Amino acid sequence: MEILLGFCQFNVYWGDKERNFKKVESLFSQLKDNNSLKIIVLPELFSTGYLFLDRKEIFNLSEKVEGETYHFLKYLAKNYNSIIAGGFLEKENNNFYNSSLVVAPDGSYLLYRKIHLFKDEKDFFAKGNLKLGIFEYNNLKIGTLICFDYFFPEAARTLAIKGAEIICHPSNLILPYAPLITQVRALENHIFWILANRIGIEKRGDKELRFLGKSQIVSPKGEILIKVENEETLKLVKVNINEAKDKKVTDKNDLFFDRRTEFYEI
């Protein structure tokens, strides 16, 4: 089965959801005449920005799972016949999560909360408490991770074993080797990987981060199908999803059947 995979890379405006939504929709507008089903990934925390100075800021910008960001993604998914993944700032009771949603054209969705918190995120966010799950839509099996989750091979492998053919990876990457590692994750699991990073510099108080860009889509063979540098853009590439069903390395080796779990200590 052929499908279009894509990412939307842009410079996020801190604290301005409406402006970020307008930026994303302006990039999506080029798809108006493309009615094919697509899977498109947006960056981590794309609606709010990333650098928070205190919990009051997080409280003011956070939202319930079916809040502003969900409704915006639902609108995009329906109007552009797309499955959209993107990160948002979630609140549940007294906890705040660095979360993502995968939303289909019919409004159904998968919620994921980042389980591997990076650096100062530990000062603000609760650790993700949801199982790594698969979103199934139109015979597609989609998993999602957020940014630093890529550093832990167990996370991607878990999704692959559960049947994921594509991993959506909303990110705010700053480490230079990060895209290479996502390429390895795609290869070692024979899955498609959509990395959507952001660009630009975010400076707040005495904190400053420069985001890497370099969003890319990787094939199950570890090939980079499309990659950009630091421009604001939405890119698509057509793939045959059946490539992710083949776990053969040689005619006598299978990535999953050859696993010797009785010897693994994790």
Given the residues 38, 57, 147, 202, select the one marked as catalytic. Answer: 147
Cβ atoms of 88 and 47 closer than 8 Å: yes
Provide the pLDDT for residue 32: 74
161 phi-psi bin (left φ>0, alpha ψ -120 to 50, beta other): alpha
Residue-range domain boundaries for the chain? 2-263
Active-site annotation holds for 18:
no
Measured CA distances, 45 to 98, 159, 197 (Å): 7, 22, 10
Measured CA distances, 39 to 12, 59, 65, 77, 222 (Å): 21, 30, 20, 9, 19
Residue 60 corresponds to which amino acid? N
CATH architecture of the domain with range 2-263:
4-Layer Sandwich (3.60)
Euclidean distance between the first and the last CA atom of the chain, given in angstroms as a whole number: 36
pLDDT (tens, 9 = 90+) of the chain, 266 residues, equals 999 999 999 999 999 999 999 999 999 998 877 788 999 999 999 999 999 999 999 999 999 999 999 999 999 999 999 999 999 999 999 999 999 999 999 999 999 999 999 999 999 999 999 999 999 999 999 999 999 999 999 999 999 999 999 999 999 999 999 999 999 999 999 999 999 999 999 999 999 999 999 999 999 999 999 999 999 999 999 999 999 999 999 999 999 999 999 999 87
- Prediction pTM value: 0.97
Distance CA 162, CA 142 (A): 10
Provide the pLDDT for residue 111: 98
Cβ atoms of 90 and 129 closer than 8 Å: no
Q: What is the pLDDT of residues 78-133, one digit of tens each?
A: 999 999 999 999 999 999 999 999 999 999 999 999 999 999 999 999 999 999 99
Provide the pLDDT for residue 44: 98
Provide the pLDDT for residue 247: 97
Active-site annotation holds for 229:
no
Active-site annotation holds for 114:
yes
Provide the pLDDT for residue 91: 98
Distance CA 65, CA 90 (A): 6
Residue that has been written with the tokens 């005449």 in this structure? 33
Given the residues 8, 17, 38, 44, select the one marked as catalytic. Answer: 44
Distance CA 12, CA 14 (A): 6
Given the residues 38, 74, 114, 141, select the one marked as catalytic. Answer: 114
